[in-house]
Amino acid sequence: MYNGNRVKYYDKSSDKPLVLIINGWSMTELIMEPLKNSFINLGSECEIIDLHDLPLVTDKKILLDYKTFFSSIREKSFNKMLHVIGWSMGGNIASKLAENLKDKVKSLTLISSNPCFVSKTDWQQAMNREEFDEFQNKMQQNSSVALLQFAKLCALGNKMQKTHTGMLKQSVLTGKKLTAKLNVLLQLLAELDTRDSLSKFTKPVLQLFGSKDALIPIAVMDKLSKLYPHHIIKSINSGHSFFLDNHDYICRKIYNFHQLSDLN
């Protein structure tokens, strides 16, 4: 069961909102550490929730134990309000968290996160099903090769593409137990549709996309702008992991958004 051991908070008596960052699929939480440190340098309290620590269940209809996860965050955050940030699949989980803990969440920031990662009849601005199924098969046949391929796609379009490809390759999770968990999370990613969660969350939302993202079509921005006209939606001239190009710059953009959200 998820016990929230990796979520550690600082001054319980402080009324300063806590920044929670959820990392993306297959990458260790360490890939988000520089972004976390940038927030701390700006005076924010910040912690990372590792996507791969989330409680999974055996019921095929429900792959993630949301109730346990939400209860744990509520318990561990004490009386603090939250600014929630999610990268890639972490953004989908962040959207679910914001919807279910809306009384505690002050703002939501999504980094390279598509509400439907895999295309649906009414959502074509996503990875097509055949391409996703092909990758899923690769994961089952040779996870090492598939994960390295995914790391390369995450860095494609970044300003320091070669360097970031190496960083992301070193960050991918390995081991039989972890690979099994990654396959379950991959199945969950295919099923996730957080459009309804985003509709129900009425507080400030910032969505950032890489204009050269190899995993999410940039056309998704127009679709989202029409669906959620109150969201702030911006593009960054980079790839899926654009925050690696300049942690401080991206952090400052989100931090300024948080400052405005705190005034509401």
**Binned average pLDDT, 10 residues per bin, the chain of 264 residues:** 46 79 96 97 96 86 90 90 98 98 97 97 96 96 95 97 94 87 95 97 97 97 97 98 97 96 75
* pLDDT at residue 138, rounded to an integer: 96
pLDDT at site 158:
97
Q: Supply the DSSP string of 65-76, one letter for each residue.
A: -HHHHHHHHHHH
Distance of alpha carbon 38 from alpha carbon 244, whole angstroms? 12
pLDDT digits (tens, 9 = 90+) for 219-249: 999 999 999 999 999 999 999 999 999 999 9
pTM summary value: 0.94
Structure tokens at 81: 């309000």
Start-end of H helices in the chain: 33-41, 66-76, 89-100, 129-141, 143-155, 161-171, 176-191, 195-200, 220-227, 247-263
Burial class (CB in 10 A: 0-12, 13-18, 19+), 162: exposed
Q: Dump the DSSP string for 135-146.
A: HHHHHHH-HHHH
pLDDT reported for residue 11: 58
SS3 249: helix
List pLDDT tens digits, range 166-176: 999 999 988 88
The answer to whether the beta carbons of residues 106 and 179 sit under 8 Å apart is: no
Classify 111 as helix, strand or coil. Answer: strand
Write down all domains in the chain, each with its CATH number in brackets: 18-263 (3.40.50.1820)
